Chains A and B, each alone.
Chain A
């Protein structure tokens, strides 16, 4: 060996075929991360970025079923931060959540608690350790997850879209907490994120993946200078690049038979019920909120994470019971309709795509609702629109996160409803998909549909005709 330090993590001839797929999604990949190095892993949706993180986390072939080939080496513990921090919660209070790692390391009790306080401080969470994890907002929950990871003193931080679900301001606090933690602990960092701009100043190196292969491996400065054009074509959100023009989606794919209705939410109040083992907990999500959705226009529901955008959207879609207030416009009201009658007039795309899948192939998934309603759907044209022509026969559950979002979105809208309700439709999407989603909204609105999007995506908000800002409310019922 020459004087260089041995790598903290290395892939050699790495290949991965998930259970149920015929082909490897990654073949013969080599990648090395040096101690303390900060690497951004970029690339379009389905390029294999999450797979690389899962490989380093030691999850492939153990927790995640499939065939692994080649070698995966990691020196010491690797901490993994997921897109949705709720997926990694193990405890009911923030103290016990952070203590989980030190407990696994068999530390004595005093050391466990000193690490808990140290790590909560490091991420800026200044609550008593007995605070319930259920009482944290999305950004706080992600910082808690980071504290939980830091508590095992990892030499490598694996970050899988840690800020994509958050609004800009909250994302900034989370990102700062991560960067500060990496700096103070000297841990190496491997981050995957679609909006790469804010990360670039904080990384030493950018590795670009395409279809499971490294197509660029360079410093962040050189990356911005030399790869700009190629990255835009690959769908990567380059810093400073303006949003792509919305795709010109043919009206026959999206236009409803009849125009949509103006929907009016008049001073609505919504209480959410959370069933726990120890009884039902009630929180007030919206209080005396009013909103108007005009037909033939795009309305953006905006506001910080946790403000109640999704709840307002679901209420307007007739999917969320109200505690008080009324929603008028549709006859009969959406909330009182039977399932099929509701679907005939409306389409709702959930934030979490995988809870929506009902069919075994992407193709069946997309034509399902239209089939129930007796409407014809041009599945091939839709697949092409969202760049999934090759995956029509695949099982929706086996797609990558970004691909699943695209399928869920099209499945919710393929039957050409006159009212569209989209919950964060552009999170984790590359530029091509963004253009397709934006184009779909614009074409549907132009054809008279009522289009509502709950979003924190500033580019999408700019495209909307009206913005309704939902303020976060503090009090709980």
Chain B
């Protein structure tokens, strides 16, 4: 079953990552939130291949939930109930995205957004190119880190020194991204992008029965289940 998710239509995965926005608004009590989360867990157990990336993303979601729990408890008059439901709603909201986005292929998502959703071709092509280059940002970060270390401006022993260091790294990364963007945009324009008011696509955007099934199961858990619970 775990082979299905990486093959699923990226458009379905993308939309399923966004749908819990509605679901989380409908979840108002702790038992309801726990039911929804339990159904996430069952589906995740069956369909999601566990990789390091997925665990990392879940870690971020958990961190967000804990910080919401803490700040709601602190600012909301120390009421454990309110704080608990606020944190659970964060989990309801963000978990599907954390589980699914790793399997979205930017190129295929672009094909779907342009040909099935009919978003403007130029916008889709530019976004796809940018997402494809996401990996290069990691490499640039490593290069920036190396240069700083070699030139004696790396972070020292003091953990507080990491803050200005991270700020300077982030700024340099932005500068590098902008400059990379300039080069890319020159190269794209020289390949007809400047004059492309409409585009065609080298690959079709197929919709298979698997995609319908994934969409139905996903919508059932992220929207229909919270709605039923809210109305019951």
Binding site for B on A (CB under 8 A): 54, 57-59, 62-64, 77-80, 82, 84, 86-93, 95-96, 99-109, 112-113, 116, 134, 145, 148-149, 151-152, 154, 158, 274-280, 314, 317, 319, 338-340, 342-344, 346-348, 350, 352, 354-358, 368-369, 372-373, 397, 411-412, 415
Given B107, B133, B148, which contacts A89 in the complex, CB threshold below 8 Å?
Answer: B133
Asked if B157 and A151 make an inter-chain contact with CB atoms under 8 angstroms apart, the answer reads no
A-side interface mostly = mixed
A365 to B45, CA, bound (A): 53
Decide if A149 touches B147 in the complex (CB within 8 Å): no
For this complex, 13 residue pairs linking A to B, each with C-beta atoms less than 8 Å apart, are A57-B186, A59-B186, A64-B186, A86-B136, A96-B202, A100-B188, A103-B202, A104-B193, A107-B200, A280-B53, A343-B151, A348-B146, A372-B153
Evaluate contact between A348 and B203: CB separation under 8 angstroms. no
Give 8 closest A-B pairs by Cβ, nearest first: A339-B154, A343-B152, A88-B187, A104-B192, A99-B202, A80-B190, A104-B196, A348-B150
What residues of A have a CB within 8 angstroms of the CB of B107 in the complex? 91-93, 96
Residues on B with C-beta less than 8 A from A109 are 200-202, 204
Decide: A350 near B187, CB < 8 A? Known: A343-B150, A343-B151: no
Task: Count B-side interface residues using an 8 Å CB cutoff.
Answer: 64
Distance in angstroms from B109 CB to nearest chain A CB is: 11
Residue numbers in B under 8 Å from A148 (CB-CB): 191
Contact with A along B111-146 (1 / 0, CB 8 A): 000000000000001001101111110111001101
Contacts of A350 in B (CB 8 A): 143, 146-147
Whether B84 sits at the interface, judged by CB under 8 Å, is no
B131, B139, B172, B175: the one contacting A277 at CB < 8 Å is B131
Are A277 and B190 CB-contacts (below 8 A) given A91-B107, A103-B202, A368-B153?
no
Cβ of B194 under 8 Å from chain A = yes
In the complex, what's the smallest C-beta–C-beta distance from B193 to chain A, in angstroms? 5
Query: A319, B146: Cβ atoms under 8 Å?
Result: yes
Contacts of A319 in B (CB 8 A): 146, 149-150
Nearest B residue to A133 via CB reads: B132
Q: How far in angstroms is the closest Cβ of chain A from B17?
A: 13
* Chain A hits for B182, CB < 8 A: 63-64
In the assembled complex, how far is the CB of residue B141 from the closest CB belonging to chain A, in whole angstroms?
A: 9
Q: Is the pair B202, A106 in contact by a Cβ cutoff of 8 Å?
A: no
Decide yes or no: A340 and B150 within 8 Å by CB, A78-B190, A103-B125, A112-B202 being known contacts: no
Pair B195/A104 contact, Cβ less than 8 Å: yes
